[in-house]
Structure 1
Amino acid sequence: MAGRPLSVEECDQLWQAWTPAEAAERLSSTPPCWYVAAGWALDLFVGGLGREHSDLEIGVPRARFAEIVDAFPGYEWDVGGDGHGWPFPEEADNQHQTWLREPATGPYRLDVFREPHRGDRWVCRRDTSITLPCDELILRTADGIPYVIPEVVLLFKAKARQAKDETDFLHTLPAMDRPRRSRLSGWLSRVHPGHPWLETLSNHRY
């Protein structure tokens, strides 16, 4: 990457993301500190593909990001955010996304969220009063791929409410039990009071 931020269009053209299974294989020797995040996490929770994905995000405690870096010798890292990309570590203190890039060919393979934590508790970037212990934050597929719980994903998706976020919400809601819906409702009421999803959540019945 040149020493200037890439535009949204330039970033989009460079993405050739791995699947969760491909990422998990490459991270198999890494300590258990990471998890699939965002839209892919919802598909792993539901157990089926809700839509196509142009990228792959994983989360990791900010303090343990170096362990992810160590798993990819020879790769390069860029900082992503606000529709741009910068050479790492530029803007790293101001952004939480970090993109893994193959230097030989240039495509981005993985987007790593460097997440705030207090000890062994995850801390929500949108509201630091929302925290969870790691054993509640992370679920696993039958073949062992770790992923973040759906209510965390949907809390973040609630802000943008792009078409894909609405699709993800409707795709995931039927698979969420009452405690998960209740927790999401509580978080949305705190972070996004009056959000349209609140009514959908309250009206949803099995």
Structure 2
Amino acid sequence: MIDLTRWEPASPNEVAERLSAVESPWWIAGGYAIEFAVGAPFREHADIDVLLLRRDQLAAQLALPGWEWWAAEPPGTLRPWAAGEILPPAVHDIWCRPSADAPWRIQFMLDEAEDADWVSRRDPRIRRPVADIGLINPDGLPYLAPEVQLLYKAKGARPKDERDFAAMQPKLDAAQRQWLREAMTLAYGEHPWKDRLTV
């Protein structure tokens, strides 16, 4: 039985060190991305998410040689990810740990891209240049732009997602608010966050 709860997430700085040789783009995502955009930590993190473009997925294996890599097959089953295997489109998450008896350390998320554009898996009409989906924090770490991260968090709106939105909403500028409102309309139709994003 695989223990899905045993996490000792790598710090963002450790992630950056381990991915230092990766030439393809990557971004710290999830709650850490929101904290970077807010400018201060405000909650605990049970894991750490790193976004890769699907076309660059094997960079995760190259960055973590000797580690175990597990693919999350819908509806939520983990299975070993073989070296060099190209994952099917339905797989969006990869869990990584140094060994079988070690806790999980890093989770990679795979997003779509076409040529120079990032394409949201929530709705392929939602896209923007890959160069425009991330920012750099004061320590030089790349992270997912908050409006893009909030688009993903809006789907489930778990308590931690609500907390992230509440912390980030006052700091979004007019362009970010407009983009997020339009993207949520395409992806979800009506959403309770939209009324709190008046431009």
Whether the 8 Å contact between 1:79 and 1:91 is mirrored in structure 2 is no
1:49-101 CA distances to partner (integer Å, 9 max, x unpaired)?
12101000111111111122111111110012544322225994222100111
Shift of 1:150: 0.7
CA distance in 2, matches of 1:68, 1:74: 11
Q: Which of the numbers 73, 86, 95 marks the counterpart of 2:79?
A: 86
Structure 2 equivalent of residue 186 of structure 1:
182
Instruction: Note the residue ranges of structure 2 that are not aligned, 5 or more in a row.
Output: none
Q: Which of the numbers 41, 47, 72 marks the counterpart of 1:55?
A: 47
SS in 1 for 2:71: strand
Structure 2 equivalent of residue 131 of structure 1:
127
Structure 1 equivalent of residue 116 of structure 2:
120
Q: How does 1:153-172 map to 2 (within 5 A)?
A: 153-172=149-168
1:117-161 CA distances to partner (integer Å, 9 max, x unpaired)?
111211100101111112111110122100111111111111101
1:6-31 CA distances to partner (integer Å, 9 max, x unpaired)?
4xxx301x211111111011111221
SS in 1 for 2:128: strand
CA distance in 1, matches of 2:10, 2:75: 22
Whether the 8 Å contact between 1:138 and 1:149 is mirrored in structure 2 is yes
Whether the 8 Å contact between 1:11 and 1:84 is mirrored in structure 2 is no
Per the normalisation by structure 2, the TM-score is 0.91
Of the structure 1 ranges 29-38 and 51-60, higher mean CA displacement relative to structure 2 is found in 29-38
Instruction: Note the residue ranges of structure 1 that are not aligned, 5 or more in a row.
Output: none
Amino acid at match of 2:154: A
Identity of aligned residues (%): 34
Runs of 4+ aligned residues of structure 1 deviating over 4 Å after TM superposition are none
Amino acid at match of 1:113: M
SS in 1 for 2:197: helix
Q: How does 1:1-206 map to 2 (within 5 A)?
A: 6=2, 10-12=3-5, 14-80=6-72, 82-89=75-82, 92-93=87-88, 94-103=90-99, 105-202=101-198
Indicate the RMSD between aligned Cα atoms, in angstroms: 1.9
Of the structure 1 ranges 63-72 and 79-88, higher mean CA displacement relative to structure 2 is found in 79-88
Q: How many residues align?
A: 195
CA distance in 2, matches of 1:132, 1:194: 22
SS in 1 for 2:193: helix
SS in 1 for 2:164: helix
CA distance in 2, matches of 1:91, 1:106: 25
Whether the 8 Å contact between 1:75 and 1:101 is mirrored in structure 2 is yes
SS in 2 for 1:115: strand
Of the structure 1 ranges 81-90 and 98-107, higher mean CA displacement relative to structure 2 is found in 81-90
Whether the 8 Å contact between 2:24 and 2:59 is mirrored in structure 1 is no
Per the normalisation by structure 1, the TM-score is 0.88
CA distance in 1, matches of 2:64, 2:92: 19
